[in-house]
A = this chain, B = another copy of it.
């Protein structure tokens, strides 16, 4: 240590050291391993390396820190501040040099591996570490006496200026643009490097715009977030209907279409790619981003969407043994999927887990991180199939359960998709049995003033998944429904909304046009669906050797709309402290966003997926037993202690004999199909 060495402490990391007077702060930070960002490599162009001096007497560090213990604000900083703006007190750490002792605060936005904060408190933030990074470099000019190629001189500059020593050959489109970019930029260019391995884009001079797209390819909707890869910020979000819907509403009808029409897989592949391509155009336009600025995309989807997107015939997924073409994550060129982005943009597709448990579930796991917790999480993503993940840091299990489309409003007499006009909330007065409800598109209940006016735009068009859950649960809580799922004819005496309906009974929810009525068959459909979901969860719990879970996470659109209390009243999910039941929204999409913003998450999910224990419900006798048992509506406070604390459950009542037998026949047909 020399007499002239200055002391510097970086916060919040606390890293400290001594450097000769005149050392640039960025250099000192790098020497100490302090995480400070830079795209321009210390040339005062990018402004990513901004810091602040903490002034004062820092007795614990044994130094006095002052703003004038750095060299004066210089021309480079003045030019940057004038051009791009800079908060008072900020300095560019590549320009400011130590002249005395200093405590330097590195604001969050100046850190390379900054945290991208998520809204939900219970989940971890995303550490920014994108697969595509920009690097500004200054390249040697060619020399006739040392005739190396322009590419080789660029690689040399990247090795020397950025330590990128392991770069492979360059992508062809980038090579085609290389010579022009170098000369237009006066031998200064910015390149995008994919995973520290390969140059995939080039711009003349300094370029600081890089975007990425995280996509959840659902059977119904394709949803995308366009993200700024430098900040992690979502700059635009959007969704389009999956154009495959014209080939069939649900997955199995699309697989059937493929099986029955030669070349059908190519049609379905073209349809989903076309929808995705349109979505990319839309979100890019919304954000004012050129599609060429989108350098990377990550995709999640169920196994059939995954295969069709990749152009793989999904026929094998339509029948046992439900063999996936691959259960690994894949990196492709966007152009291989006909997606228009930067010409050498890369697409990463999350791995599928099993024939029924897709890359969407891999995304859910990335988003929810059950493998990071001591507590046992049960995560369900409900669609036509419910994909179920159970476990903690010791073990993770996954299964898919054939819930059918009832939760999405299909096969329900008044059912419909969640859309304006659909009943989504229901309350039944336990005394009068009179209902009140809310529809999507209005904040008012049907018995509030102004509801009719608000509802006039759409009318009351039907009932969606969350509404069905609530009405059936409320019917049970109001004593209209017995624990075995039979609509109790004796309730006719309490309200004329309970009406005979052939040999069974129904409950009139809404008398308008269309009339919305909950029939015995509707209740049966919900029972079948919820029994499948519950049985899947129970089966995994058996395998894990637990009879309770610590947390429940409901993922997907359905999960974010239902009231968890009603879900538990009906027995969709096992008993759990209601404070530990979370709605995760589009967790598959969030998982895709994590894989977009953090490259190591790709390796992580690949590793996790390999370790997940897959349970195939279709061949598990225990699943059938759980299924039969779960047909009833829970009434045991012993089995549902947490629920019993939250809800006044009705007294157990005996079911009639005829109906359960009918239910058993149905099940037998179903499982034999």
Contact = CB atoms under 8 A, between A and B. Distances in A.
Interface of A: 141-152, 169-170, 172, 175-176, 178-180, 310-313, 315-316, 320-328, 330-332, 336, 352-355, 614, 616, 618-619
Contact of A151 (B326, B614, B616): B326
Given A144-B616, A316-B179, A149 B352 contact: yes
A149 B312 contact: no
A175 B144 contact: no
A149 B323 contact: yes
A327 B147 contact: yes
Nearest to A352: B149
Contacts of A172: 310-311, 330, 332, 336
Given A149-B327, A151-B325, A619 B144 contact: yes
A618 B144 CA distance: 9
The 9 A-B residue pairs with the shortest CB-CB distance, nearest first, are A142-B323, A147-B354, A149-B327, A151-B326, A149-B326, A149-B324, A144-B616, A144-B321, A142-B321
B179 A322 contact: no
Given A144-B320, A322-B147, A331-B169, A313 B179 contact: yes
Nearest to A182: B323
B324 A355 contact: no
Given A145-B614, A149-B326, 6 more contacts: A147-B327, A149-B327, A150-B325, A151-B326, A175-B325, A179-B316
A316 B183 CA distance: 10
Quick one: which of A151, A325, A354 has the most chain B CB within 10 A?
A325
Nearest to A332: B172
Please state the number of chain copies in the assembly: 2
A669 to B, nearest CB: 22
A312 B310 CA distance: 30
B616 A324 contact: no
A150 B616 contact: no
Contacts of A169: 328, 330-331
Contacts of A312: 175-176, 178-179
Contacts of A144: 320-322, 355, 616, 618-619
Contact of A326 (B145, B150, B322): B150
A149 B148 CA distance: 45
A170 B349 CA distance: 13
Contacts of A352: 149
Contact of A170 (B147, B320, B326): B326
A179 B311 CA distance: 12
A151 B310 contact: no
A671 to B, nearest CB: 15
A176 B310 contact: yes
Quick one: which of A149, A150, A354 has the most chain B CB within 10 A?
A149
A147 B614 contact: yes
29 contacts: A141-B321, A144-B321, A144-B616, A147-B322, A147-B323, A147-B327, A147-B354, A147-B355, A147-B616, A148-B324, A148-B327, A149-B324, A149-B325, A150-B324, A151-B327, A151-B328, A152-B327, A170-B326, A172-B330, A172-B332, A175-B325, A175-B326, A175-B330, A176-B311, A176-B312, A176-B313, A178-B326, A179-B313, A179-B316
Quick one: which of A175, A179, A324, A353 has the most chain B CB within 10 A?
A179
B179 A149 contact: no
A365 to B, nearest CB: 16
A313 B180 contact: yes
A178 to B, nearest CB: 6
A172 B331 CA distance: 10
A315 B176 CA distance: 12
A325 B182 CA distance: 10
B614 A328 contact: no
A147 B324 contact: yes
A182 to B, nearest CB: 9
A332 to B, nearest CB: 6
A328 B152 contact: yes
A276 to B, nearest CB: 16
Contacts of A175: 310, 312, 325-326, 330
Contacts of A176: 310-313, 325
A321 B143 contact: yes
A614 to B, nearest CB: 5
Contacts of A320: 144
Contact of A323 (B179, B322, B353): B179
Contacts of A315: 179
A610 to B, nearest CB: 9
A178 B619 contact: no
Nearest to A155: B328
A169 B175 CA distance: 24
Contacts of A316: 150, 179
A312 to B, nearest CB: 5
A252 to B, nearest CB: 18
Contacts of A331: 169
A327 to B, nearest CB: 4
A176 B142 CA distance: 44
